[in-house]
């Protein structure tokens, strides 16, 4: 069939921002992720859940290229990972905010650093850069703290600074690893607000969390990991439902299970923060 003579087709759906099949990661010879299949569609908000050590952070690192895949096939926005160069479309907030400790930078500077991938080297920030930085500060509710040192902020505010830093790059695909861990409830609500605005703009969000808390209404889909595998992938359940089902039924240990109950169960035993 010739492409040239084909009738005009309706616009193809956008390629999924994330498409991983058979993803395998091994660290020091030990298998950490085993055969992960995960496709995230444009505009989806996915909560990646599971007990400590189940492989959530490793999966996020693999999807952002920080941890090489030993097997499987990964595409970002329809491009095989090895050919992908559009990193300005991807934002990442790593687990825990220790990165800012002791750094005498202002909130504005930290957020501005997230704009680097959009700038030409050594050029001063342009109007679009400044607008994106101001916007990111506004979204996380730190516009009035822009010129304070990050060291003076609370842990939750530092976390929001890092989120604003990633937002300033105006990512279409946004990974956040446990952004609510160790963050007080008002800051969790501020984060939920920021993510709701990002979602409303059409961003795709993959968020690692033990408990969803104020983020729960934003979540379209939950993916639960156990021991390096996906054991549930489906719609999130209400917290009350989870508690009921969880109490009655311990989830299976193997395979992809569509109706496993442990979606937003409190996996808090042994949490690290």
Q: Which is nearer to ligand ADP, 110 or 215 (CB)?
A: 215
Q: Which residues within the stretch 116-145 sit at the binding site for ligand ADP (CB under 6 A)?
A: none
* 103 binds ligand ADP, rule: CB under 6 A: no
E strand segments, the chain: 18-27, 30-40, 45-50, 71-76, 79-80, 90-93, 173-177, 204-208, 221-226, 229-234
Q: Provide DSSP, 42-86.
A: TT-EEEEEE-TTSSHHHHHHHHTTSS--SEEEEEETTEEGGG---
Stretch that binds ligand ADP, among 46-54, 101-109, 156-164, 245-253 (CB under 6 A): 46-54
Q: For the CB of residue 147, give the shortest distance to ligand ADP in the complex, in Å.
A: 35
Q: For the CB of residue 227, give the shortest distance to ligand ADP in the complex, in Å.
A: 9
Per-residue binding letters, 50-79, with Mg ion (x by CB under 5 A): ------xx----------------------
Strand partners, 177: 208
Q: Helices 127-139 and 185-200, interaxial angle, to 10°?
A: 130
Q: For the CB of residue 95, give the shortest distance to Mg ion in the complex, in Å.
A: 5
Q: For the CB of residue 113, give the shortest distance to ligand ADP in the complex, in Å.
A: 25
* 57 binds ligand ADP, rule: CB under 6 A: yes
The site partner of 181 among ligand ADP, Mg ion, none (C-beta below 5 to 8 Å per kind) is none
Q: Name which position in 58, 64, 180, 262 contacts ligand ADP (CB under 6 A).
A: 58
- How far is the C-alpha of 239 from the C-alpha of 74, rounded, in Å? 32
* 32 binds ligand ADP, rule: CB under 6 A: yes
CB proximity list for 17: less than 8 A, separation 6 or greater: 40, 41, 42, 76, 77, 172, 173, 204
Q: Which is nearer to Mg ion, 93 or 137 (CB)?
A: 93
Number of residues binding to ligand ADP, judged by CB under 6 A: 11
- CA-based nearest residue to 232, from 203, 186, 200, 267: 267
Distances (CA, A) of 167 to 10, 116, 157: 32, 12, 15
Q: Which is nearer to Mg ion, 57 or 180 (CB)?
A: 57
* 56 binds ligand ADP, rule: CB under 6 A: yes
Phi, psi at residue 231, to the nearest 5°? -110, -10
Q: For the CB of residue 272, give the shortest distance to Mg ion in the complex, in Å.
A: 8
Number of residues in the chain: 273
Q: Which is nearer to ligand ADP, 95 or 106 (CB)?
A: 95
* 187 binds Mg ion, rule: CB under 5 A: no
Q: CA triplet 262, 264, 269: central angle to 5 degrees?
A: 80
Residues that bind ligand ADP (CB under 6 A): 27-28, 32, 50, 52-58
């Amino acid at each position: 069939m010739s492409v040239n003579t084909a009738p005009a087709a309706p616009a193809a759906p956008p390629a999924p921002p994330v498409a991983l099949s058979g993803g395998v990661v091994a660290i020091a010879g030990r298998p950490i992720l085993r055969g992960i299949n995960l496709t995230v569609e444009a505009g989806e908000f996915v909560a990646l859940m599971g007990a400590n050590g189940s492989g959530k952070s490793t999966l996020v690192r693999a999807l952002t290229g920080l941890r090489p895949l030993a097997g499987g096939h990964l595409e970002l926005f329809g491009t095989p990972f090895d050919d992908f160069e559009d990193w300005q479309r991807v934002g990442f907030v790593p687990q825990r905010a220790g990165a800012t400790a002791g750094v005498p930078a202002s909130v504005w500077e930290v957020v501005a650093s997230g704009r680097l991938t959009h700038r030409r080297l050594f050029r001063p920030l342009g109007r679009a850069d400044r607008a994106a930085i101001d916007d990111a500060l506004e979204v996380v509710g730190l516009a009035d703290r822009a010129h304070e040192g990050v060291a003076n902020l609370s842990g939750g505010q530092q976390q929001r600074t890092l989120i604003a830093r990633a937002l300033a790059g105006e990512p279409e695909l946004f990974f956040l690893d446990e952004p609510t861990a160790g963050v007080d409830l008002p800051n969790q609500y501020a984060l939920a607000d920021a993510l709701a605005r990002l979602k409303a703009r059409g961003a795709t969000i993959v968020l690692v969390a033990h408990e969803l808390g104020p983020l729960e209404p934003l979540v379209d889909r939950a993916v639960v990991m156990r021991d390096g595998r996906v054991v549930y992938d489906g719609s999130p359940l209400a917290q009350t439902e989870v508690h009921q089902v969880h109490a009655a039924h311990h989830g299976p240990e193997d395979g992809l299970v569509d109706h496993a109950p442990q979606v937003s169960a409190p996996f808090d035993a042994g949490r690290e923060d």
